[in-house]
Amino acid sequence: MIRIGLVGVGKIAHDQHIPAIAADPRFDLVAAASRSQPDLGGLPVFHDIAQMLAEGPELDAVALCTPPQARRETALAALRAGKHVFLEKPPGATVSEVAELAAVAREQGVVLFTSWHSRFATGVPQAKAWLAANPVRTLSIEWREDVRRWHPGQTWIWQAGGMGVFDPAINALSILTEIMPDEVFVTDAKLQVPENVQSPIAGHVDMTTLKGAAITADLDFLQTGPQTWDITAWSDAGELKLSMGGAKLTIDGKVVVDGENREYPGLYDRFATLVAEGRSEVDVRPLTLVADAFMVGTRESVEAFIE
């Protein structure tokens, strides 16, 4: 039994982490830390991780669901206290801080897990296998969702380090880096930034591989009506499409996989396995692509975002 504490009890914790932990017999959620002090049915809730570590029950691991800007210090406190750490995506506000966390985890002899939940969508493994056998010529990402629906009141997204539209779009990049047999590189980007915030609300990213596959990503945080989370790849063998964030896979129009959402149970299954094996899993490739898009991207100021 892994005694785990949860830090940051917002929407994603309520919707995904708490149910996934409760459903996995290898975990026991014994404490939480949140400045909002939510009622979690008798579970002890502390103000922050420092208080939870000092005054709370004994822990083996900590899952961090805080905004990325506050992640580093919280993760360092947990690692230095000898706790295994599960990082919600994105694993940090910068690429270099994740490398620092990995180094501290090695020094402390504990596990660090950079979780990418979209990689556990049901269609991803078969898509990866198909692309390994059928080299991609071109690939298109369309990731369009309504920020007001999925991230209400989450002002941290619009601040420096919050990533704006890349907060959901990094899910697509996590799938991309998982299913592509070759490394992916950013070549250009165009970012639309509302005049009253620091992060983009929409954008276009051009990428490629060492073998010259052309990859594009069109991103929008103001999509109304049906939401779009699609990745389409073309090879000499045909067309592959992952839709619904990776839950549905079609090849040449034929449905191959159409499964239920079990991404977070998959994440906790992987975390339990890593803890049992004493092995960290740290992958910053999706975050690196975001950082590169910010570095090379041109910025266009657009009208202010008002929630």
pLDDT for res 306: 95
Is 36's pLDDT higher than 90? no
- At 182, which amino acid appears? D
Q: Find how far residue 91's CA is from the centre of its chain.
A: 7
Is 84's pLDDT higher than 90? yes
Q: Find how far residue 6's CA is from the centre of its chain.
A: 17
Percent of residues, the chain, with pLDDT higher than 70? 100
Is 31's pLDDT higher than 90? yes
pLDDT for res 218: 98
Q: What is the pLDDT of residues 264-306, one digit of tens each?
A: 999 999 999 999 999 999 999 999 999 999 999 999 999 999 9
Residue 128 has a CB neighbour count (10 Å cut-off) of 15
The structure tokens listed for 172 are 């697509």
pLDDT for res 26: 98
Does the annotation mark 83 as catalytic? no
CATH superfamily membership of 2-114: NAD(P)-binding Rossmann-like Domain (3.40.50.720)
Query: Which residue is catalytic, options 11, 83, 89, 211?
Result: 89
Is 171's pLDDT higher than 90? yes
* Residue 105 CB partners (closer than 8 Å, separation 6+): 79, 85, 111, 112, 280
Using alpha carbons only, how large is the chain's radius of gyration in Å? 19
Mean pLDDT, rounded, for 228-237: 97
* Between 260 and 73, the higher pLDDT residue: 73
Least confident of 18-22, 38-42, 235-239: 38-42
**Is domain 118-259+291-302 annotated with CATH 3.30.360.10?**
yes
Sorting pLDDT into bands at 50, 70 and 90, what band is 260?
A: confident
3-state secondary structure 15-45: HHHHHHHHHCCCEEEEEEECCCCCCCCCCCE
Q: Please report the sign of the dihedral spanned by the C-alpha atoms of residue 282, residue 114, residue 220, residue 303.
A: negative
Q: What is the pLDDT of residues 143-157, one digit of tens each?
A: 999 999 999 999 999
Across the beta sheet with 298-302, the strand order is 254-258, 248-251, 238-243, 228-235, 136-144, 214-220, 202-209, 184-194, 298-302
Mean pLDDT, rounded, for 106-116: 98
The structure tokens listed for 264 are 């977070």
pLDDT for res 232: 98
pLDDT for res 37: 87
Q: What is the rounded CA–CA span in Å between residue 196 and residue 192?
A: 12
Q: What is the rounded CA–CA span in Å between residue 114 and residue 259?
A: 24
Q: What is the rounded CA–CA span in Å between residue 171 and residue 246?
A: 10
Mean pLDDT, rounded, for 123-140: 97
pLDDT for res 151: 92
pLDDT for res 281: 98
- At 58, which amino acid appears? E
Residue 254 has a CB neighbour count (10 Å cut-off) of 8
Give the residue range(s) of CATH 3.40.50.720 domains in the chain: 2-114
Mean pLDDT, rounded, for 68-92: 97
Mean pLDDT, rounded, for 208-214: 96
Mean pLDDT, rounded, for 213-222: 98
Is 261's pLDDT higher than 90? no
Q: Are residues 280 and 105 in contact, defined by beta-carbon separation less than 8 angstroms?
A: yes
Q: What angle do CA 204, 291, 211 make, to 5 degrees?
A: 70
Give the residue range(s) of CATH 3.30.360.10 domains in the chain: 118-259+291-302
- Name residue, tokens 């830390």: 33
